[in-house]
Every structure is written in structure tokens, then in C-alpha cells.
Amino acid sequence: MGRRKLEIKRIEDKRCRQVAFSKRRKGLIKKANALSILCDVDVGVVIISNDGTARLHEYSSTNSVTGILQRYDSHVETEKEISAEIQVTEHSKYSSMATRELLQETERQLEKTNADDLAVTDLIHLENELQAALIQIRSRQTNLLLESVKGLHEKEKLLREENKHLEDNIATTIKKNRRGNEMSDLQPQRVTLNFL
Amino acid sequence: MGRRKLEIKRIEDKRCRQVAFSKRRKGLIKKANALSILCDVDVGVVIISNDGTARLHEYSSTNSVTGILQRYDSHVETEKEISAEIQVTEHSKYSSMATRELLQETERQLEKTNADDLAVTDLIHLENELQAALIQIRSRQTNLLLESVKGLHEKEKLLREENKHLEDNIATTIKKNRRGNEMSDLQPQRVTLNFL
DNA sequence: AACCCTATATATAATAA
DNA sequence: TTTATTATATATAGGGT
């Protein structure tokens, strides 16, 4: 795209690399913006450079980054409804919807391509699709984490209640004991624990 | 870039929009790939289309998506070390490092630009930088969530131990009672509470 | 680092297959 | 729906400021 053809490999000259980075980063974000507007889709771009000081550059068509991430979540939510199983069947979740489509796509690709000219671009494409599946799994993990927190809070509450009951129990037992020892007449205990 | 100049606004014809999406998506990912290789940086692209069936497309220069997200985390981790405060001071975290740089950059931009020709591109740039700050805050939230889970697990363990002690306490109390009062019909209580 | 310039490389809109 | 063609629009390498 410039004065001469450029091989796609790391630019060794630091100066040139830096300039190219600045230009191409701008270009990439511009294209991301055009794509999102022209085709009415949400696009997010993240660039992490490591030249000495690691810097983070970002673009998102949605107002906030959390916005696009919430879209992830709702996307994942939909899949969850389809395979609303428990942890034991967790494995089956990975073969739902998009993942199944992905495998079909892979088969199609392999069918129509001779082993000879299995283009690198094809492989890159498949790789990207697989990565898309991975990000979905990651989102799923985030959701599970949130559920985990919720569950743990409930557990904590129940355990605290149980503790309270047990303490009361001990208190009354001791009291009655004392009384019973004095009057030689111990009363039967009733231990009632109601929760859940 | 085609037969005629195209305004950057939503393509109304669904057919054209679909074709443009397919092409531009491929183009964007190709450019993202070139950028990451040429300039030796990590790049992630996320595209969410909503044409009826919401679909998620993704690209990441790192082997796994979690990889690039871990880079986020470590990036955030560094900032955390600098302002390692508790939740109460949470607010102060938002004005650390990158955010401070960001504000300086904003000032610089506003200084050198007349109100007249404050280019849209400048605004877009600033917007993107602000979004970068937002994604960092989001990562921070994820970290806090993970810490929360850890803390809750510890809490749970302590509560369970406490419960065990209390149960033992009750058991021995009852045993002693019975021994000291043979005719009593008092039965040792079994307090078993299983949840989750 | 951020802009200009310009020759060239790439991307892609319209169109057809 | 994708795929191929092709004319045109954009992006950008190298060079200078």
C-alpha cells in the first residue's frame, strides 16, 4: 500500500515500526468505525503495544466498553438458555450453537480444499473462528463467576443463621441444665432449626 | 474504495449491507493481523452483528483470547500496585497513571486546537482514549470480583468450622446431661444441615 | 512524535456469473 | 448465498519537515 510491496513480517527498524504502528493503528480504527456504521454492527478493537512502556489503545462503536461487553454477556445468556444444565454437563455446553456451526464450517472448508493449496488465509480464518468460540467460553466463565459470588453470599447467610440457632440452643441447654440440677428435674430438649 | 465514493452512513439496502459486512469484516481482520505482525503488538477485534441472528465474530493476534485478556489484567495489575487502596478509596484509583496521562493529553489537544477547527477526528481520538480508560476500569472490576470470590470461600470455611465446634459443644452438653440424669427421656440431637 | 507528499499497494462497490 | 471482475477509492511506505 505504499511505495513498494511490504512483506507481512515484523518491521525490524524500530523507527519505521513505530511510524507504521501509528499510521496503521489509525487506519484500523477508522475501518472499524466505518464497518460499524455502514453495516450497523458493534465493533471493538483492542491494541496493546509493548515498546518499553506497555500501552493500551482501544476502539468501540458502542458508547461504553462495558456496552459491548454486555452484548457478549447477553449473547452468551441466550446460549445458556438453550443448554441450561449443571456443571456436570458443562462439557455439552461447548458443543452448542455457534460451536456446532463452527465445526460445520471447518468441515466445509476442508472438503473444498485440496491438501495442496490449503491456503494460509483459510487456516487463519478457521483459527479466528475458533478464537471466537474461545471468547464465548470465557464469557461463560465470567457469568459462572458472577453466579458463584451470588451463591456464596447465600451460603454465608445460611451458615450465619445456623450459627445463631446453635448458639441459642447452647444457651438454653445450659440454662435448663442449671435449673434441672437445682430441682433434679431436667426437661426434654427441643432443637428446632428452620431454614431453607 | 469501490466504483464510487461511499458516504459513511448505514447502508439501507439489506443485501448490500450484508455483502459489505462480509467484505469489510474480512478486510478489518486482515488489517488487524498485519498490524500485529508488522508492528509486533497484540490486537483483538470483536464484531457483533445483529441481523436477525446475533452473531459474534472475533480476531486476536494472541493464541488464545484469554491471552490478550490476561494482558489487560496484568496491565491493570501494574496500576493496582501503584494505588493499592481499599474500596473506600476506590475513587482515587480512577485518577491514576493512564487516566492522568489521558487528561493531560486532553488538555494538550484543547490547547492547540481553536474552537473553530476542533476536528471530529480529534474528538473521536479523545473518545477512544476515554474508552481505553473505561476498559481498564472494567478489568479492575473483574479482579475485584475474583478477590471477592476468594474472600467468600475463606469466610465459608471459617463459618463451617465454627458450626462444627458448636455442634460438638451441644453433643457433649447433652451427653453430660443424660449421664447426670439417667431417667430423662432426653435424646441426643442430631443436627445435620446439608445445603449446596 | 505528528504531518505533508506522492507513488504504489490494497480494499472494495458495483456488477455479473 | 458466495465468488470473480474491474474500476475506483483508500491506505500507506518512504521521504521530507
Q: Is A163 on the interface with B (CB under 8 A)?
A: yes
Model confidence pLDDT, tens digit, residues A19-40: 898 888 888 888 888 888 888 8
Model confidence pLDDT, tens digit, residues B43-80: 877 777 776 555 666 676 664 444 444 444 444 444 33
The CA–CA distances, whole Å, from B79 to A98, A174, B138, B142, B144 equal: 36, 55, 13, 14, 14
Model confidence pLDDT, tens digit, residues B76-133: 444 333 323 222 223 333 334 444 454 454 445 444 443 333 344 444 444 454 445 4
Answer yes or no: are the C-beta atoms of B76 and A54 closer than 8 Å: no
Question: Nearest residue of B to residue A170 by CA position?
Answer: B170
User: Which of these ranges, A72-76, A83-87, B114-118, B125-129, has the smallest mean pLDDT?
Assistant: A83-87
What's the confidence (pLDDT) of residue A104? 52
Q: What average pLDDT does the segment A67-92 reach?
A: 37
Strand D-proximal protein residues, Cβ less than 7 Å? A 1-4, 6, 16, 19-20, 23-24, 26-28, 30-31, 34; B 1-6, 18-19, 22, 31, 38
What's the confidence (pLDDT) of residue A170? 77
Closest CA to A134 of A94, A77, A92: A94
Give CA A51 to chain center in angstroms.
28
* Residue A196 binned pLDDT confidence (cut-offs 50, 70, 90): very low
What number of other Cβ atoms are within 10 A of residue B46's Cβ?
Answer: 24
User: Which of these ranges, A166-175, A183-192, B150-159, has the smallest mean pLDDT?
Assistant: A183-192
Answer yes or no: are the C-beta atoms of A102 and A133 closer than 8 Å: yes
What's the confidence (pLDDT) of residue B186? 42
CATH 3.40.1810.10 fits A14-72, yes or no: yes
Return the amino acid letter for B178. Answer: R
Contacting B residues, span 13-72, partner chain A, CB-CB under 8 Å: 17, 20-21, 24-25, 27-29, 31-35, 37-50, 54-60, 64-66, 68-69, 71-72
Contacting A residues, span 141-160, partner chain B, CB-CB under 8 Å: 142, 145-146, 148-149, 151-156, 158-160
Chain B residues close to A143, C-beta within 8 Å: none
Largest CA distance in chain A: 107
Residue A39 has its nearest CB partner, among B20, B44, B160, at: B20
* Residue B172 binned pLDDT confidence (cut-offs 50, 70, 90): confident
